[in-house]
Amino acid sequence: MSDALPASVIRLSGVRKAFANGVVALDGLDLEVRKGEFLSLLGPSGCGKSTALRVIAGLMAADAGQLRVTPGGSPGDGRGHHDTAFVFQEPTLMPWASTFDNVWLPLRLAGVSRAEARDQVRSALAGVGLDGFENAYPRELSGGMRMRVSIARALVTGPRLLLMDEPFAALDEITRFRLNDDLLRLKEEQGWTVVFVTHSVFESVFLASRIAVMTARPGRIAGEIAIDVPYPRAPAFRTDPRYAEACRETSAILQAAIGEAA
C-alpha cells in the first residue's frame, strides 16, 4: 500500500541498563525508529542518551527488555551491526596514520587491501569535502576537519544505519552549523537512517525528522515531536518561524521531562 509506514529499523521495549556502581542509566526505555528517519535523542547531560546509543550499537548489553536492530528494515536476528556505523563525540583517529589510512581502517579490518579500497576511500573523503587531504595527519587538521575524517570513516563502509553520539558538541558554532548542513546532505545522498544524540534543542530541530526527549536518569522517553519540515533544509531554516515554533515546543517537552524526574 502506498500509505504504508516504512519498516522498523530499531525497536527497544522496556530496556533497562544499570552499571556496576549501582547507577541505573536506563529504565523502561521504549523506542522505535523507522527506515529513513533522522531521529534525534535529546535530553539533559547524564540522562542515558549515549548509553541507549551504545545498546543499539551492540557495544554494551541491556540488563532487561528487548532490542531489535535491522539496519535495512528487513527481518533478521535482531543484531545486524555489520550494516551499522558509529560516530563518537571525539574523532578517535589514529594520530600516527594519514587521513587515508584512518578512513581505510574499517575496510582493512574487513580484509580489503589498500589498493582495493583506494576508490572507496577517496570517494568518502570527497563526500565530506576532504579530497586532496589523503596524506595529511590528524595533527595537521582542524577540529572540524578531524570530525569530517571520522564521518568519512563511517561513510566508507556503506552503512544503512548511522549512530552519532554528540559528534559536533566540542566544535565552534560556525563549524557546527557547516557540519550540520553537510550531514543532512550526506543523509539524503546515502539514504541513511540516523539516530543522533545531542543535548541541543536547536541542533535537534534543525536536523531531525523526529525528536525523542528523554527524562533525567534513569532515562526513558518522556515525549516526542515530529519536525514536519521537508528535506532538504537550507541554512535559512534556522530563521524560519517554523523553526522557532518547533524549538519552543521541544523546549517545553524537555522542561516538563526534567521537572517530572526531579
**Domain CATH number, residue 118:** 3.40.50.300
Per-residue pLDDT, averaged over 111-129, amounts to 94
Residue 39: C-alpha distances to residues 194, 228, 245 (Å): 6, 13, 18
Strands (E), 109-200: 161-165, 193-198
pLDDT at 168: 92
Asked if residues 151 and 164 have their Cβ atoms less than 8 Å apart, the reply is no
**How many Å apart are CA 143 and CA 78, to the nearest integer?**
35
Number of residues assigned to the chain:
262
Confidence of residue 44 (pLDDT cuts 50, 70, 90): confident
Residue 32 lies in a domain: yes
Residue 1 lies in a domain: no
Higher pLDDT, 82 or 254: 254
Residue 3 lies in a domain: no
Residue 250 lies in a domain: yes
What is the value of pTM for the model shown?
0.91
For residue range 221-253, list pLDDT tens digits in order.
999 999 999 999 999 999 999 999 999 999 999
pLDDT at 46: 86
- Domains of the chain: total: 1
Residue 94 lies in a domain: yes
Residues 6+ apart with CB under 8 A from 77: none
Q: Residue 59 sits in which domain range? A: 8-261
Residue 160 lies in a domain: yes
Asked if residues 230 and 184 have their Cβ atoms less than 8 Å apart, the reply is no
Confidence of residue 73 (pLDDT cuts 50, 70, 90): low
> Mean pLDDT in the chain?
90
